[in-house]
Each structure stands twice: as structure tokens, then as C-alpha cells.
A and B are shown apart, each in its own frame.
Chain A
Amino acid sequence: MKRLIAAAAFAASLATPAFADWQATLDAARGQTVYWNAWGGDARTNDFIAWTSTQLEAAYGIKIAQVKLTDTAEAVSRVVSEKAAGQDAGGSVDMIWINGPNFLAMKEQGLLHGPFVADLPNSKYLDLSPTSPNSVDFTTPVEGLESPWRLAKFVFTYDSARVAAPPTSMGDMAAWAAANPGRLTHPNPSDFMGATFLKQALIELAPDAAALQAPVTDAAFETATAPLWAWYDSLRPNLWRGGAAFPENQSVQDQLLNDGEIDVSVSFDPASAAAGIAQGLLPETTRVFVPKGGSLGNVSFVAIPFNAAHIEGAKVVANFLLDPATQAHMQNIEVLGSYSVLDPAKLNDAAKAAFAALPSAPALPKLEDLGPTLAEPHATWMTRLAEEWAKRYTN
């Protein structure tokens, strides 16, 4: 009998007019300005956020003010300082573009509002099964504390006018660099993209890639990274500037590619070569390649700090980002070219048609050319890798 009551209560909770709840959120959100803290280094993303703001203002009377960050951790430390000062409400950060180690840090410190993802009407288009990339962020369970908005997949870009055959695997890069000394580099591993370069190599070279899914231990690190350092020691002398200097981040490396100082750059966005060409930032002959075993992929999320001043507004923004029309607009190469996070199987015909009608570009890889997506190692590996790299290769 008790079980029956519980089941009935559960069923009733499902039947609760979620619609009415959402209407209350929309009403509360009207007139709010959402301070979205997002990395501001990409002009197209900034433009997309500005477009989102005009759409939301027209539909719901909500404005977005993008707080442009040079590093996502700036927003995290802002929330930390606010907590330090005892400011538990009315905080200055309403929403953060976040994932990986920054998410882990905020989750562990209890700095996030939520769970809220299930409250968003458009979350019905997401695959939220426990193993989906939308549910685990760098192996850390999301638990509804952040909402997905764009897909990231690690790719290399190269100038096809100068390079006939790019390396086919990370292991192959050592030989390629020996044949083309000074033409290859990677961002400094203290930068997210630099650490990703090392992770990509680690997954390919580690004796047991499955071990990377658990939090790092000294013994596991020793075993897993031994082949990586052997490979890197043979690669490094043939890197740009003899492996003594590294570009600060991906965009600096893109600039080196455009300047002809190197032949290969990195990106977490398969559309970035096409986008860079369209913006005049990369040579027309830039193309994308992916190691033949596949490459790392993850989801970019938005999270709401525990003390955000405009929680309702932030939820409406998060929900709008998951709208199929928004996602199709975002995937348009002429707009942002970022792949959608929605589950195609859950879309209706109109939404499917919108995605099918998107324009293409020569430098835009086909989905099937991108190979399998490799799961991100546990977030602790990334920090440890960057530290160990600094220990070994800092003068």
C-alpha cells in the first residue's frame, strides 16, 4: 500500500503542470539582464551571444550582457571571492560558459545553483541517459547542475598548400616533425588547448586507455604516461623554436599558421578552419584532419552560480540555447558552425529539415570524416598532465 502511494505521488509529480512552473519562471525573468560570463576571445561566439540577446529581448523581455573573459577561471574566482565576502545572493555572475576542471572545482566547492536542467522544457530534445556526454562532463556526473549548449571535438587544422600529407596519428607526429623540423607546435599546456593536445596523445599511447576514466593516482599516472613522455622527448627537439617556446593559446597558434611560421594548428571546433577562412584569419587552403583513431570530444555547458542575481533569466537563456531553431542557427557555418548537442532522434520533422538545409563549405569536414569521439579522461588527469609537463620541460 505504501509503495502504491509512493508510486501515485511520483506519477502525480510527473503530472504536475511543469508548464505552469515554467510560465512562473518566464514571468519572473521578464526585465532581467543576465550577466553571462563567457570566454570572449572568439568574435563569432560573441556575435552569436549578441544575437541571442536580441532574440530573447523580443520574445521574453530578457537581455544578455556578455562578460567577456580571457579565461573561464576568472568567473570562478569571482564567485569564490563573493562567497569569501559572504555574498550569498545578488552575485555578479548569472551564468558561466563552463566545463571540465572549472565545473569540477565549482561543483566540489558547492558554488552552483541547481539541479535545474530537468526544469527546462527544451531538455526533452537532449539525450540525458547516464552515460551520454550530456550527463558526464570529463567523467564528472553533471547531475543537472549545468546545461549543454554546444559540442566540441578536437581537430587539427593545416595548410593544404604547404602540406601534402599531414600526420595520421599522434605517434606519427614524431616522425613527421623530424622530417619537417620547426613546423609543428602546440599551445602551452597551462592553456586548455595545450593540455588537450597532451591528452589526445595520452589516450592514443597509454597502455590501457580505460584507466584514464578513474581519478588519477600516482601509480596509474606513472604507468599510463611512460610511453607519452618517451614519445614527447623524441618529438620536442623538432618542434617550433626547438620546443623551447610555445604559443600562449589556440588563437596565437592560428596566427602562426596564417603567418606561415608553422604548418599545423589545433582547434576544439571542427568548423573553425572554415570559419577562419571566412573571416580572413586563415589561408583559403586550410583544411581539417583528425587522427585516424578518433579524437577527444566534449560538451560545452552553461552553469548558474549559487548566488546569481538573475537565476530565472539565466534559466530562460539556457532553455533558449536548447531550442532546435537556435541550435540549427548555431550550427550554420555562416553563423558559428558549432555542432548541435540535440539528439537527432528526438527532433520533429521541421527541426530535422532545418538542420538538413544548412549550407556547407569546402573546409568544413563531413561528420563521418571526423572519426569516433573519444571520451575525456577524468578531470584530474588534465591538471596532473599539465603539472608534470611543466616539471619536465620548464627551464
Chain B
Amino acid sequence: MREPLQAKTLRAAVLTIAALALCAPIAAGLWHSAGAAMGHLPALGKAGPSIGPLTELLAKPGFATALRLTLVTGFAATILSLVLGVALAAAITQGPARIISRLLAPFLAMPHAAMAVGLAFVLAPSGWVARTLAPILGWARPPDLATVNDAFGAALILGLVVKETPFLLLVILAALTQIPLRAQINAAQSLGYGLGAIWAKVIVPQLWPLIRLPVYVVLIYNLSVIDMALILGPSNPPTAAVLIARMYSSPDLAQILPASAGAILLGLCAAASIAALSGGARAFARVGPVWVRRGWRGGGRGGGRGGGLNTLIAAVAMLGAGLLLLGAGSMLSLGLWSLAWRWPWPMLLPESLSFTAWAGALQDFGPALQNTATIALASTAISLAMAVAWLETQFKSRHEALIYLPLLIPQISFLFGMNTLLLQLGAQGSIGAVIWAHVLFVFPYMMIALTGPWRALDPRFGQAAASLGAGRLRQLCAVKLPMLLTPICAAVAIGVAVSVAQYLPTLFLGAGRIGTLTTEAVTLASSSDRRITGVVTSLQAVLPFAAYLLAFIIPKLAHRNRSALQGATG
């Protein structure tokens, strides 16, 4: 089919914008960071190249341990979240999956730092679990046990899993709509396969290419997370990302050099980790067919060998459900803290209640709330327009890696350098700069949410419209957008949630002047007053909650007389 000139122009324009707005600044940021990593920082009168910063970094006490901690917690959390996500998907697609996926909204809306603060309270030696056990075990004082900030990073892994499993589960449920799941399960079951075997042999191999990218994103996030690692992770040494952030904020300015070396090293580790994960998946793909050919069906019902995998799926799904309950408990505890005045050990509920924290917050955080809403709505609107333009131009998938770049490189690796670039342009500290920085991260997440449903839409709808004389724009506005309203609303909700949660980009590019609820929350988390943290995080969750609620209601109202669209998409 000959391509019309108009489409070519659009494609060139979209690609140019993506390259200029998304990739160039990240490349420049990496370039500046790499320069500092090589000992080149004219502001401090340092000229490179030199390997001094790297050797200084490697000589930092505990750096090797920190790096090992980063890799162990990052991989463990990613793989656990993935396994739990698949098992939960397998379990709930048997039942009312749509209702359960709605319950995930609070987990997605809750910022990482807030979840960590709540979880730390539940798990700590003086926390809810210990307070429940105290009367039974006769503890007068909290036990001196490292149930959070443990040296192995177990609490950090747990926190990441509680936060990432719902995200992956949602991604998996969305991807499953592109696979004829019901038909394949029915066919395989009629051939005597058990549910566990069907998922392992039939579904997961089809699923992996669809969810690979989000899994990489989760892996990179886990490897470079700072706020959660500060609250739940080991402290001496902490993970590599925290160590690097500490160096960046050291009063000794020369520490920027080894910090940059660390930032670049972390970036390289992230790249190697993605390679390792995709290599592992490829190895599975090699071995898998042999296993499939051996013909084990895991029927289970008649006894035999297969029951094990079914039981395993059920057990893992139960474990996942338990972790989600733990997350729900964390959110509940923060809500309670926001209303508490005094809540000492060993009381299960606050000793006294007060609205002081709320009253203070409503007057203190008004501007922050306004900034948060403005930035979230603007960056989501821009990202949505870009996503629709991108999807309509139908790029090859090799181009697609471009837009996910901001999510596949640790933030700390390029933000310092990007900051320098913006200062040279004189654009730092404006709300525009912050909105643009948010678009860097909101756009790819919205693409993750929209790509599947967009590609899954039957192209014959568009062709039918074209045969009736509709141009491209009219096809888009009159046919595609209304039919895709459900996933678009879901993507907007995700976009708002992602924007609201951004911390480092807001801080760096806003020069600290653009205060959002998240920058307030992280600053206050350093003061660790759980009552104010409870208030700010409740406020923080309000916007994404509202977005998720609207994403649920709007399609319902718009499609109230379109029964095939109620549940067919999304």
C-alpha cells in the first residue's frame, strides 16, 4: 500500500519531537554525568579525564556490599513480583478478574515512599504486628530485632514486591486481553492439561513478549530506588543508589565526582541486568519446547504427577494475596496515624485522636496540591496527545525502545547532568521545565497502558469508516477514540498517578521551588512524623484515586447503551 505524504510527514514530526524532547536531554544528561565521572567538572576547577573518581568510589567503605545489595534486592524483588503477578493472574482469571483488578487502584495510586512508611510501621519491632504479639509473648519492650532495615534487604524486597506486584498484575491482565485466553484454556483442558501446566506451557510463553518491557522497567526501578530503600533498606551500608545520593548531597563538593562515577556505574549495571534478564528468558525459550514435547499435562484431577503445579499456583497466589493484605494494612495504618495525636507502644490503636494534622495540612499544602494537580493534568494531556500521535503513525517496534529510554535508565544516572543542561538554557525552576520532566516518565507509562488495546482494535473498523469516506482524522475521532475510551481513561489515570509520584525530577528541575505533595512528603518523611506523613500521603493519593474513579465511571456512562463495549476492551 502506498503511503500518503501526510502520514509520512506526521511520522517524521512525531519522531523528531520524541528525539528532541525525550532522548536528547537524557543523552546530554548522561554526557555531563559521564564527564564528572571522568573527573571533569570545571565549576570545581576539575579537568579530566582521570580515573580518580572511579578509584575513589571503589574505595568507599562498603561499596562492594552496597552494589551486591542493589543487585540482590533488585533481582529478587522483580522476579518475585513477576511470579506472584502471574500466579495471581492465573488464579483470578478463573473468577471475577475485572472486579479484583479494580481493587488494585489504591496500590497503584499509593506513592512508594508512603507505602514504605506504612509498611515500616506494620513490620517494625514496635509496630502493629509486634504490638499484637506483645501481650501474648509478654513483651514489655519491643524486641531488639531487625525486622526492618535488615542487613539482607529482606524488608526492602518485601516493600518493593508489595508495590510492584499490583502493577505487574495489571499489566498482565491487560496483556491477557490480547490472547484468546478462555479458548486456549478450554482447548488445553479438553486435552487433559491441568491449569498449572496450561499457564506454564501455553500462556506464559505468549505473555512474556507482551509484558517484557514493563518487567524491565520494574527491574530498573528496583535497582535504582531511593525513597523506599532509605525507609526499609539496610543502613550501613545502604544500597548503591542511596550511597550515591548521599555523596551527591555531601557538604564536600568534590564528592560530586565519585557520585557521578557511581551514577554511571549504576547505569551500566542496569544495562547488564536487562541483558541478563532477557538472556535468561531466551534460555528458557530454548529449553521450554523440550519440556513441552515431553508431553506432561499436569492433569491433576486423577492424581498423577501434575497436581503439584496446580497446588503451587494456588499457594503462590495465596502468598500474593497475603502480601497485598499487608499493603492494605500499611495504607490503613497511615490513615489512622493521620488522625492520631499520641500513639505510643504497645497500644494497638491511637491513645488520643486529633484533627490537628489535617487542619494544619489544609492550610500548608494548598499551593502544593495546586501545583501537583496542574503538573499532573498538563503532563498527562501532553503525553496522551503524543501517545495517540505515536500509535497512529504505527512505528516499528525498534523505534519503540526510544520512548521507554527514560524508564530504562536509572533516574540518578542522568538527572544531575540534565540539571546542568537546563541551567545553561536558563529554563530551570519553571513549572514548564517540571511538566516536561514529568512527560519524560508519564509518556512511556501511558504507552505501556495504551499500546496493547490500540493494536488489538480490529483494523476493519477503520477500514469500514474509510470506505464510507472518512479521512484519517475522522476515523480517529469518530471511531477509534470512542471505542478505545476505556483504555484511554485507564491510561490517563496511570499518567496522573505517575506524575503525582515523581520526586527526583520535580526536585532537580524545579530547583526546589516547585513544591508538590510528593516533594513535601519526602521532606517530611525525613522528619518522620507519621501523622503528617499520613495526611500528606492521603492527600497525595486523592488525585490518582479521583483519576481512577473517573476512569471507571466515564466509560460506564459513555457506553451505557453499547453492550459490546462494556468489558470488551480494557
Contacts and interface: CB of A to CB of B under 8 A. Distances in A.
B250 A73 contact: yes
Given A82-B423, A92-B428, A68 B235 contact: no
A252 interface: yes
A54 interface: no
A251 B424 contact: no
Contacts of A101: 251-252
B511 A78 contact: yes
Interface in B500-557: 507, 511-513, 515, 519-520, 522-524, 526-532
Contacts of B308: none
B236 A43 contact: no
A248 interface: yes
A83 B217 CA distance: 35
B125 interface: yes
User: Which 10 A/B pairs are nearest by Cβ-Cβ distance?
Assistant: A84-B43, A85-B423, A394-B62, A260-B345, A182-B144, A41-B527, A259-B126, A101-B251, A394-B61, A92-B511
Contacts of B532: 43
Interface in A343-395: 383, 390-391, 393-395
A65 interface: yes
Contacts of A65: 513
Interface string A34-47: 01010011110010
Nearest to A90: B426
B526 A109 contact: no
Interface residues of A, number: 68
Contact of A280 (B236, B342, B528): B342
Given A102-B251, A241-B144, A394-B236, A81 B344 contact: no
Contacts of A100: 251
Given A92-B428, A105-B253, A245-B151, A395 B144 contact: no
B345 A395 contact: no
Nearest to A86: B424
A41 B44 contact: no
A172 interface: no
Contacts, number: 169
A233 interface: no
Contact of B526 (A70, A81, A92, A258): A70
B523 A41 contact: yes
B479 to A, nearest CB: 48
Interface in B229-245: 230, 234-237
Nearest to B248: A77
Nearest to A382: B251
Contacts of A205: none
Contacts of A241: 144, 146, 149
A395 B151 contact: yes
A259 B530 CA distance: 12
19 contacts: A70-B249, A72-B251, A76-B253, A77-B249, A78-B512, A80-B43, A81-B423, A92-B513, A105-B251, A105-B252, A105-B253, A244-B236, A245-B151, A255-B528, A259-B345, A280-B341, A383-B252, A394-B62, A395-B62
A280 B354 contact: yes
B423 A283 contact: no
